[in-house]
Amino acid sequence: MFHCLFIQKDLPAMLVKLSQILVYSLWAFFLALALYPWFIAYLRRKKIGKTIREDAMLWDKAENFARMHAHKAWTPNMWWAMVVLVLALMLLLSLGLQYFGVINNSLITREETYIILFAFFSFGFLWLTDDYFNVKWRWAIKWLSARAKMIGMIVISAAMSRWFYAKLGSSYVIFPSVWSVELWLLVPFVQFLITLTIVNAINFTDGLDWLAWWLLIIVLAVLAVATFVSQLYIATAVLGIVIGVLIAFLWFNINPAKIFMGDGWAFALAWLISSLVYLLNMRMSIVVPFFLLFFIFWIEILSSAMQLTWKKLFKKKMFPMAPFHHLLEYWWWKEHTIVMKAWLVQWVLASIALIMILYQFS
């Protein structure tokens, strides 16, 4: 059984760590608010705005989607670049504070944050490039080709898998009751499939205002608790920074939205979440809690996969629209109704996942 962290003599030290993490998160929040006027002016000057797609991903015309979301066209886009910028600035700040002896450790450590920062920034810059091409149409292309992005995903995933396997010695999966399954050389393949599934699940869910945003805030909050009780305090601080910037986004995205997150944020956060799950797997049983925590995302990608498979096999659609949240829209559910009910379900799932996580440390 895991060693209990919540003993009285450790509580003061843990509270100090928690306060430091909250300070990082608040700094990130206010820094994002301060940078907003400059950032929105830059996006407007460059005419970087949201476009409503006319072609659906599942080989179908998306007139229904375009009709329901036409009012959002040309709103400034790519707020998620602010997440990348603020996190980079906070990392540099922590290095400076460590250099001058203000703090003992920066936010960049081999054991906790090398791999999650690599996953976030490498995939983040890949999709920033894609987003920029998408709105600017530079060099006679509208976006990076699917082949180029797949090659990038394979390279990044391979580097992540090698780090976990060769550097951190992770070649197993821990299940409840501390029962582990050794995967050996299958680790890179399994990690790639899991990461690809998480990436696409988040991408398919990001179709309504605040839907994926709120769901991911809750997912990140639960993972922050898991990293904190696992004594991965620096990784928790990085998560706190990301959450702080995402909360700042809400201030400017309340209807009528002044800015949208953009397309690439879901992909960058998906890789961040994937690396965190692999990191937590080395210390606790995270598989079942994460499956529950991510249940809505699984429904979204499953509905899309079923639609795609049905069209390939029978040349017709299984559902009038996919993924699932657009099917609910088709059935005349209001957008805010879908989003708020999804939040309620996610809070329940998060509570169950938290109980399962904290029980391991009792």
**Is the backbone of residue 21 left (phi > 0), alpha (psi -120 to 50) or beta?**
alpha
Give the pLDDT band (50/70/90) at residue 147. confident
* β-strand partners of 114: none
Q: What is the pLDDT of residues 157-197, one digit of tens each?
A: 777 777 777 777 776 677 765 566 766 667 777 877 888 88
Q: What is the pLDDT of residues 271-295, one digit of tens each?
A: 899 999 989 988 888 989 999 999 9
Count of CA atoms in the C-beta half-sphere (13 A) of 77: 21
- Kindly give the interhelix angle for 264-281 and 80-99, rounded to the nearest 10 degrees: 50
Alpha-helix runs per DSSP H in 230-334? 233-253, 264-281, 287-293, 295-314, 324-330
pLDDT of 203 above 60? yes
Q: If you average pLDDT over residues 137-146, what whole number do you get?
A: 54
Amino acid at 123: F
Q: What is the pLDDT of residues 47-79, one digit of tens each?
A: 665 554 444 444 344 555 445 444 444 566 677
In this structure, of 68-77, 110-119, 147-156, the range with the lowest mean pLDDT score is 68-77
Q: What is the pLDDT of residue 151?
A: 80
Residue 299 · residue 169 · CB < 8 Å = no
Q: Output the CA–CA distances (angstroms, integers) from residue 33 to 23, 37, 236, 246, in the order listed.
A: 15, 8, 22, 11
Give the pLDDT band (50/70/90) at residue 226. very high
* β-strand partners of 174: 180
The SS3 assignment for 334 reads: coil
Give the pLDDT band (50/70/90) at residue 152. confident
Q: What percent of the chain has pLDDT over 90?
A: 32
Q: What pTM value is reported for the model?
A: 0.85
Q: What is the pLDDT of residue 289?
A: 93
Q: What is the pLDDT of residue 199?
A: 83
Q: If you average pLDDT over residues 333-338, what whole number do you get?
A: 89
Looking at beta carbons, which pairs linking 342-351 to residues 24 or more positions away fall under 8 Å? 342/211, 342/214, 342/215, 342/296, 343/214, 343/215, 343/218, 345/295, 345/296, 346/214, 346/215, 346/218, 346/219, 346/296, 347/218, 349/292, 349/293, 349/295, 349/296, 350/218, 350/219, 350/221, 350/222, 350/293
Which tokens go with 130? Answer: 């894609």
Q: Output the CA–CA distances (angstroms, integers) from residue 135 to 47, 102, 262, 328, in the order listed.
A: 8, 42, 10, 29
Residue 79 · residue 259 · CB < 8 Å = yes
Of 3, 8, 14, the closest CA to residue 361 belongs to 3
pLDDT of 111 above 80? yes
Q: What is the pLDDT of residue 63?
A: 52
Which tokens go with 6? Answer: 């919540």
Q: Output the CA–CA distances (angstroms, integers) from residue 214 to 59, 116, 217, 334, in the order listed.
A: 29, 21, 5, 17
Mean of all residue pLDDT scores within the chain: 80
Give the pLDDT band (50/70/90) at residue 104. confident
Angle at CA 247, nearest 5°, toward 245 and 251?
A: 110
Looking at beta carbons, which pairs linking 344-347 to residues 24 or more positions away fall under 8 Å? 345/295, 345/296, 346/214, 346/215, 346/218, 346/219, 346/296, 347/218
Quote the CA–CA distance of 290 and 173 in Å, as a whole number: 13
Q: What is the pLDDT of residue 1?
A: 44
* β-strand partners of 182: 172
Q: What is the dihedral of CA 241, 242, 245, 249, to 10 degrees?
A: -160
